[in-house]
């Protein structure tokens, strides 16, 4: 399998775009090697339109002690939100009215001029 020589099992309608499929496979291979390291067995496939995707990867085929740890979150706020430590967003402190007063103003009595022009509620 090379850039200009597709394997024998490639369908005839994918042969004209084989260089594009080969390039996508090389990017997939580079990602697997960067993420997991060399030596892992994997299976890839191409759709009828030529898009390459990873079908499975055998993570037990090699020792995982050399795999790089996942990077920490870029934002401490994001890390706190994902871990559940920060259930209330920071912008809540800037809201002018509390939740109880906002609810009371919605369901409270309206001005008489507003009530006179209000539309009736639907039957259903």
**pLDDT in the model for residue 20:** 94
pLDDT surpasses 80 at 18: yes
Q: Are the CB atoms for 37 and 62 separated by under 8 Å?
A: yes
pLDDT surpasses 80 at 112: no
**pLDDT in the model for residue 109:** 55
Residue 21 burial by Cβ neighbours in a 10 Å radius (0-12, 13-18, 19+): buried
The two tokens of residue 118 are: 């209000």
């Amino acid at each position: 399998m090379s850039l200009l020589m597709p394997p024998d099992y490639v369908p005839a309608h994918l042969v004209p775009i084989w260089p594009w499929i080969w390039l996508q496979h090389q990017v997939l291979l580079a990602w697997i090697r960067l993420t997991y390291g060399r030596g892992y067995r994997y299976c890839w496939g191409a759709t009828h339109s030529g898009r390459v995707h990873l079908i499975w990867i055998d993570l037990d085929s090699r020792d995982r002690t050399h795999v790089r740890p996942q990077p920490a979150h870029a934002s401490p706020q994001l890390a706190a939100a994902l871990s559940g430590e920060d259930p209330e967003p920071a912008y809540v402190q800037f809201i002018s009215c509390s939740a109880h007063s906002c609810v009371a103003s919605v369901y409270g009595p309206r001005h008489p001029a507003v009530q006179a022009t209000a539309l009736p509620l639907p039957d259903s």
